[in-house]
Amino acid sequence: MPEIDDLKKAGLKTTQPRLKILAALEKSPVRHVSAEDVFKLLLEEQEDIGLATVYRVLTQFETSGLVIRHNFEGGRSVFELNDADHHDHIVCVKCGRVAEFSDHDIEKRQKKAAEKAGFILQDHALYLYGLCHKCARQKNA
């Protein structure tokens, strides 16, 4: 059970809710999910885990580096598993689909820009917004 090791490494007690939430993130058909989404995924599998717990656990996961929290447009947080490979995101403004990309040069330039502004860079969020090819085709609706 690799999930147990993940939790231990994160310094978290291996409880049922935490295991289930981690499994839900892994099994989810969509990689980027809100707390509500996770809650619903668990409901579908008859797992009786409260929404408050989902929020608490996702926040702990974020703190321990297991997941990444995003603040896309729309007000609510979305989460994704933190695989070691860093990447940025492009979100379709019409259908919400999320694609990922990464660009080493952009990263380098970000660090430089931070230094120039007198900051020690700790983190960054780069979100592109646009129309995915499917939505671009159907201008209507």
Partner DNA sequence: GTATATGCAAAACTTTTGCATCCTT
Partner DNA sequence: AAGGATGCAAAAGTTTTGCATATAC
Query: Given the rule CB under 8 A, which residues bind its own copies?
Result: 71-73, 75, 77, 88, 90, 92-93, 99, 101, 103, 105-106, 109-110, 113-114, 116-133, 136
Q: Judge contact between 33 and 80, C-beta under 8 A.
A: yes
**CA 49 to CA 53: how far, in whole Å?**
7
Which residues of the shown chain bind DNA in the complex (CB under 7 A)? 12-18, 34-36, 48-53, 55-57, 59, 75-77
**CA 3 to CA 49: how far, in whole Å?**
18
Residue 55 binds which one of its own copies, DNA, none, with CB within 5 to 8 A depending on kind?
DNA
In the complex, minimum distance from the CB of residue 17 to its own copies, in angstroms, rounded to a whole number: 24
In the complex, minimum distance from the CB of residue 36 to DNA, in angstroms, rounded to a whole number: 6
Residue among 51 and 135 whose Cβ is closer to DNA: 51
Terminal CA-CA length for the chain:
46
**CA 24 to CA 129: how far, in whole Å?**
27
Residue 139 to residues 71, 82, 94, Cα–Cα distance (Å): 27, 35, 10
Residue 103 binds which one of DNA, its own copies, none, with CB within 5 to 8 A depending on kind?
its own copies
In the complex, minimum distance from the CB of residue 22 to DNA, in angstroms, rounded to a whole number: 11
